[in-house]
Amino acid sequence: MQSKRILHKGALWMGALTMAAGLALSGCGQSDDEAKSGDKAKSGESQQVWRFALEETKGGVQWQYAEKFKEKIEAAHDNVEVKIYPYGTLGSSQDITQQIQNNTMQFAFASAGHVGSTIPEAQVFTLHFLFSQDDAVNEEIFASNPVVYEQLGAAYDEKGLKLLSIIPEGWMVWSANKPITKPSDFEGVKIRVKPSDLLLATYNGYGANPKPMAYSEIYGGLQRGQIDAQTQPMFAIRDMSFYEVQDYLIEAHNAQFVSTVITSPGFMSGLPEDMQKSVKQTIEELDPYIFDVQQTLNAEAAEEIKSKSDIEFIELTPEQVETFRSSVEPVFDQYVEMTGPRGEKILDAIQKAVAEGGNN
């Protein structure tokens, strides 16, 4: 599987590597002392600080990813320090994305629900009942699907962002103050969503009353009754203590929480070739690592929530899932209308991969 990742993601890096080829010549003619320094890469540049901004708090999937990225990059380049900034320390998700576009931030996470307001094609990851129930099929799509990376990467490029990787953080789980086992149970339920047109359409299709709200405001919103429900991966429900102010957790396997790792095109193209190769290699190595991490974190979070609270867990049956699936089928057409041929190619590629995987 690793060789496939390298092949399929390679096109995203060729432009940047080509731009840096001239810089690589300055590395020729190193001294004997430099030659004896071993395999650890030396760029010859002064000390650098690379800032990596997260959309989540310390300890979650994004934190684990950034920590491993930091470990690998700093091991490869002794003149680079990677500083990690958890959610809220450098502004909102929109602020962070703008810093990447302005080349004042080096790396960041940009979740599909957020970045989709700038790059509509990314909202494909918010569609319900798109992905396979077979996690191995989904892992291959997120890590290396050539059409998805080519088409989505081009969309990011047009907005001054460079797509490095697509990261799944686990199945979304509904938390609510009443049982939800069929679309009519959502009638009138105020559920927090990200400001995504497709998410609004999805929950309107269920009969709910979707309410965009900042991540940091969810707990208080649930506590005060401003919202009745929300949806996050299990680890986030634990980390943000949402289970304390909800009565039910409903698992429908309706959608994955998907984020993207981004950087500034100007930053990447300005790096020496050895550093660009290190970033590329590190990103590829982190794909299987983080997929395993998110599965473990979410499983552990579920057990911890069960041990700490009396919240009721509900897992929908296949028959119950079908009633939700049929309610949101028109949203797929809305996505294509919103994104045009490029979005249609992305959606078709995912649906084809899921169908070939044989378990949707």
Q: What contacts 279, CB < 8 A, 6 or more positions away?
A: 73, 164, 263, 268, 271
Please check whether residue 29 lies inside any domain of the structure.
Answer: no
Please check whether residue 33 lies inside any domain of the structure.
Answer: no
CB atoms under 10 Å from CB of 236, counted, come to 25
**How distant is the alpha carbon of residue 110 from its chain centre?**
6
Q: What contacts 171, CB < 8 A, 6 or more positions away?
A: 233, 234, 251, 253, 254, 255, 256, 257, 298
Are the beta carbons of 324 and 111 closer than 8 angstroms?
A: no
- Which residue pairs from 289-294 have beta carbons closer than 8 angstroms and sit at least 24 positions apart in sequence? 289/68, 290/61, 290/64, 290/65, 290/68, 290/167, 291/135, 291/139, 291/142, 291/143, 291/168, 293/61, 293/64, 293/65, 294/61, 294/168, 294/169, 294/170, 294/233, 294/235
Please report which helix (H) or strand (E) contains residue 285, including its range: helix 273-308
Average pLDDT over residues 199-221: 96
Please report which helix (H) or strand (E) contains residue 349, including its range: helix 329-357
Model pLDDT for residues 5-50, shown as the tens digit of each residue: 444 565 555 554 444 444 343 444 444 434 333 444 444 558 999 9
For residue 91, the model assigns a pLDDT of 85
For residue 18, the model assigns a pLDDT of 46
What's the predicted TM-score (pTM) here? 0.86
Domain encompassing residue 99: 2-16+46-357
Q: Which CATH number covers residue 255?
A: 3.40.190.170
**Beta partners for 110?**
260
Please check whether residue 283 lies inside any domain of the structure.
Answer: yes
Please check whether residue 38 lies inside any domain of the structure.
Answer: no
- Counted domains in the chain: 1
**Beta partners for 314?**
250
Q: Both tokens of residue 119?
A: 């790059």
For residue 195, the model assigns a pLDDT of 86
Alpha helices in 110-215 (DSSP H): 112-115, 135-144, 146-158, 197-206
Report the half-sphere exposure of 218 (CA within 13 A, side-chain side).
25
Please check whether residue 118 lies inside any domain of the structure.
Answer: yes
Please check whether residue 80 lies inside any domain of the structure.
Answer: yes
- Strand 48-53, strand 80-85: pairing: parallel
Least confident of 20-34, 70-84, 104-118, 126-140: 20-34
Average pLDDT over residues 113-131: 95
Average pLDDT over residues 204-211: 97
Residue 173 has pLDDT above 60, yes or no: yes
Please check whether residue 109 lies inside any domain of the structure.
Answer: yes
Residue 198 has pLDDT above 70, yes or no: yes
Average pLDDT over residues 345-349: 98
Are the beta carbons of 40 and 290 closer than 8 angstroms?
A: no
CB atoms under 10 Å from CB of 18, counted, come to 11
**How distant is the alpha carbon of residue 234 from its chain centre?**
15
Least confident of 32-46, 96-110, 322-336: 32-46
Model pLDDT for residues 226-245, shown as the tens digit of each residue: 999 999 999 999 999 999 99
What size, in residues, is the chain? 360
Please check whether residue 316 lies inside any domain of the structure.
Answer: yes
How far is it, in rounded angstroms, from Cα 327 to Cα 314? 20
How far is it, in rounded angstroms, from Cα 94 to Cα 115? 8
For residue 138, the model assigns a pLDDT of 96
Which residue is it, tokens 């309410």?
211
For residue 46, the model assigns a pLDDT of 85
Q: What is the DSSP letter of 77?
A: B
Average pLDDT over residues 52-69: 96
Write down the mean pLDDT value for the chain: 89
